[in-house]
Amino acid sequence: MRVLGIDCGCERTGYGVIESDGLEHRLVDSGVIRTSPRTPFERRLLEIVRGLRQVIRQHLPEAAAVEGIFYSSNVKTALKLAHVRGVALLALAEASLEMSEYSPLEVKTSVVGYGRAQKNQVQMMVRSLLRAPAPIESEDACDALAVAICHATHSGVAHRHDVVEKAI
């Protein structure tokens, strides 16, 4: 299964595309859609949705996953992040992609095995799970890959459970 993971952000929206059977994962592509804080916010949202549409057209994922919104003490920042998430969900819906959402705790637990893992631990495990020859350059792209791995792992578990159920 080809999975697109998205790490939403106002200045940097990370994306990661993997191939996975639920147990083994392979890196297809990753990167960041960057916007300038000097650009009007609505134009930045347009840049993000266009970038995600391009990634979807180029890699044709079968499923997508985004990290759920976490608690933020800064309401303005949380609202902007929600807008970015909205355009990401729009791009996924336009492409008729199955979409799942995972909390940061679920992502870290799935990738590292510990929900309170540090960023560097997540980065190290993403690189290891994908057998990437070099570190993933961007934290945002690495986080997006972690979300994709989380989804592939959860989907793989569900698929294996369905196969066992049918066999019984």
Instruction: DSSP letter for 154, please.
Output: H
Provide CB contacts within 8 A for 62, sequence distance 6+: 1, 2, 3, 97, 98
- How does strand 98-102 pair with strand 63-67? parallel
Domain containing residue 131? 2-167
pLDDT in tens, 64-111: 999 987 666 788 888 999 999 999 999 999 999 999 999 999 999 999
Q: For the chain, what is the domain count?
A: 1
The whole-angstrom separation of Cα 141 and Cα 162 is: 31
pLDDT band at residue 6, thresholds of 50, 70 and 90?
very high
CATH number at residue 162: 3.30.420.10
pLDDT of residue 69: 74
- Active-site residue list: 7, 67, 140
Residue in 163, 156, 143 with CA at minimum distance from that of residue 16: 143
